[in-house]
Amino acid sequence: MRDFRFSFNIFGIGTRQAFIDECREAEGYGYDTVFAADHVGIPAPFPLLVAAADATRRLRVGTLVLNVPFWNPALLAREIATADTLTDGRLEVGLGSGHMKWEFDEAGIEWLPAAARAAKLAEMISELRRRFGADPARLRPGTAALKPVQRAGFGGLGPPLLVGGTSDSVLRIAAEHAQVVGVAGTYQVKGQPPGTLRLASRTEADERMRFARTCAGARAAEIEWHLLVQVVIVTDDRNAAAQGLIAEQTAAAEKAGVTDERALLTVEEALETPYLLIGTVEEIAAQLRLSRERWDFSYITVHEPYMRTFAPVIERLRGG
Q: Using one digit for the tens of pLDDT, what is the confidence trace for 170-196?
A: 999 999 999 999 999 998 888 888 888
Name which of 73-87, 114-128, 187-201 the model is least confident about.
187-201
Q: Is 253 inside any structural domain?
A: no
Q: Is 246 inside any structural domain?
A: no
- Could you tell me the residue range of the domain that residue 29 belongs to? 5-230+281-317
Question: pLDDT tens for residues 227-285?
Answer: 999 999 999 999 999 999 999 999 988 888 887 777 889 999 999 999 999 999 999 99
Q: Is 265 inside any structural domain?
A: no
Q: How far is CA 258 from CA 192, 267, 269, in A?
A: 7, 18, 19
Return the HEC string of the chain: CCCCEEEEEECCCCCHHHHHHHHHHHHHHCCCEEEECCCCCCCCHHHHHHHHHHHCCCCEEEECCEEHHHCCHHHHHHHHHHHHHHCCCCEEEEEECCCCHHHHHHHCCCCCCHHHHHHHHHHHHHHHHHHHCCCHHHCCCCCCCCCCCCCCECCCCECCEEEEECCHHHHHHHHHHCCEEEECCEEECCCCCCCCEEECCHHHHHHHHHHHHHHHHHHHHCCEEEEEECEEEECCCHHHHHHHHHHHHHHHHHHHCCCCHHHCCCHHHHHHCCCEEEECHHHHHHHHHHHHHHHCEEEEEEEHHHHHHHHHHHHHHCCC
Range 103-117 average pLDDT? 96
Q: Over the chain, what is the mean pLDDT?
A: 95
The answer to whether 101 and 111 are in contact (CB under 8 A) is yes
Q: Is 309 inside any structural domain?
A: yes
The answer to whether 149 and 192 are in contact (CB under 8 A) is no
Q: Is 112 inside any structural domain?
A: yes
The pLDDT score that the predictor gives to residue 140 is 65
Q: Is 32 inside any structural domain?
A: yes
Question: pLDDT tens for residues 194-233?
Answer: 888 999 999 999 999 999 999 999 999 999 999 999 999 9
How would residue 144 be classed by pLDDT, with cut points 50, 70 and 90?
A: low
The answer to whether 34 and 55 are in contact (CB under 8 A) is no
Q: How far is CA 197 from CA 95, 186, 191, 249, 263, in A?
A: 19, 6, 11, 12, 8
The count of domains in the chain is: 1
Q: Is 248 inside any structural domain?
A: no
Q: Is 67 inside any structural domain?
A: yes
- What is the model's pTM? 0.95
- CATH number of the domain at 78, please: 3.20.20.30
The pLDDT score that the predictor gives to residue 247 is 95
How would residue 138 be classed by pLDDT, with cut points 50, 70 and 90?
A: low
The pLDDT score that the predictor gives to residue 196 is 85
